[in-house]
């Protein structure tokens, strides 16, 4: 059983996909803490409903990033977290967390990196007029949306409705995140994929 932490700032649909997969046994893991930097965000309500402990904090209550990241990393240590999953955590991870959890932090990005990095990937891809959208899961490093790519899924779409393609991308995200975590956990335990 692998201990996961999921970090999110917003609605938390990826958090929910991961937490539900843990609960129904699809993932041999449990979410020991949901970290949220925006108290009141949708993810907090989802976590409560699913019985996942929440660590909510306001960055402005701390002197700087190093201080709140130290507080977070201390909690991850206490909980025995082995893998961190960023799921719409709208903040650049700094030195403190990278120093203590580097190489064990995954991120999900709603585009086929290295195309369309940044906070508005779906809109950017739509405005560019791509016909194949996608999702990337990667380990993070100190660069924005950089780091080693672990998995990708393509989402072909040739329509003109951004809401429609966004919904398709989110569905692909949920599947890919759970499958990727599963692969990582199984390879860690030396099981066959
Ligand atoms: C996802 O599109 C993810 O790729 C991006 O932020 C969004 C989070 O959505 N990093 P949700 O909060 O999981 O619904």
Q: In this structure, what CATH number is given to the domain that contains residue 157? A: 3.40.50.170
* 193: in domain: no
Closest CA to 135 of 114, 120, 155: 155
pLDDT of residue 145: 79
Domain that holds residue 44: 2-186
- The radius of gyration computed from the CA coordinates of the chain, to the nearest angstrom, equals 16
Measure 153 CA to ligand 1 centroid, in angstroms: 15
CB-neighbour burial class of residue 110 (10 A; exposed 0-12, middle 13-18, buried 19+): buried
Cis peptide before 114 (omega within 30 of 0): yes
**Ligand 1 within 6 A of CB of 96:** no
pLDDT of residue 189: 58
Closest atom, ligand 1, to C-alpha of 9: 12
* 138: in domain: yes
* 192: in domain: no
* 98: in domain: yes
- Residue 109 known to be catalytic: yes
What does pLDDT average to in each consecutive run of 10 residues of the chain (193 residues)? 97 98 97 97 98 98 97 98 97 96 96 96 98 98 88 98 98 98 84 46
Closest CA to 152 of 123, 118, 115, 192: 115
pLDDT of residue 142: 85
> Would you tell me how many other CB atoms lie within 10 Å of the CB of residue 186?
15
* Number of structural domains found in the chain: 1
Q: Which of 109, 120, 138, 170 is catalytic?
A: 109
* 191: in domain: no
Closest atom, ligand 1, to C-alpha of 170: 2
pLDDT tens-digit readout, 30-83: 999 999 999 999 999 999 999 999 999 999 999 999 999 999 999 999 999 999
Residue to mutate (ligand 1; options 110, 122, 126, 150; most atoms within 8 A of CB): 110
Closest atom, ligand 1, to C-alpha of 14: 13
pLDDT of residue 87: 98
């Amino acid at each position: 059983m692998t201990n996961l932490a999921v970090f999110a700032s917003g609605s938390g649909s990826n958090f929910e996909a991961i937490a539900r997969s843990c609960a129904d046994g699809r993932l041999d893991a449990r979410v020991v803490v949901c970290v949220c930097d925006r108290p009141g965000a949708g993810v907090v309500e989802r976590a409560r409903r699913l019985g996942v402990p929440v660590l909510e904090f306001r960055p402005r209550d701390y002197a700087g990033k190093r201080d709140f990241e130290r507080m977070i990393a201390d909690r991850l240590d206490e909980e025995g977290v082995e893998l961190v999953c960023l799921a719409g955590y709208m903040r650049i991870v700094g030195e403190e967390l990278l120093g203590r959890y580097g190489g064990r932090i995954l991120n999900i990005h709603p585009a086929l990196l290295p195309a369309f990095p940044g906070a508005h990937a779906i809109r950017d891809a739509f405005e560019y007029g791509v016909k194949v959208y996608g999702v990337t899961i990667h380990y993070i490093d100190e660069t924005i949306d950089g780091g080693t790519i672990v998995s990708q899924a393509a989402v072909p779409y040739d329509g003109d409705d951004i809401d429609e393609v966004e919904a398709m991308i989110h569905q692909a995200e949920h599947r890919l995140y759970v499958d990727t975590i599963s692969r990582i956990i199984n390879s860690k335990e030396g099981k066959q994929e």
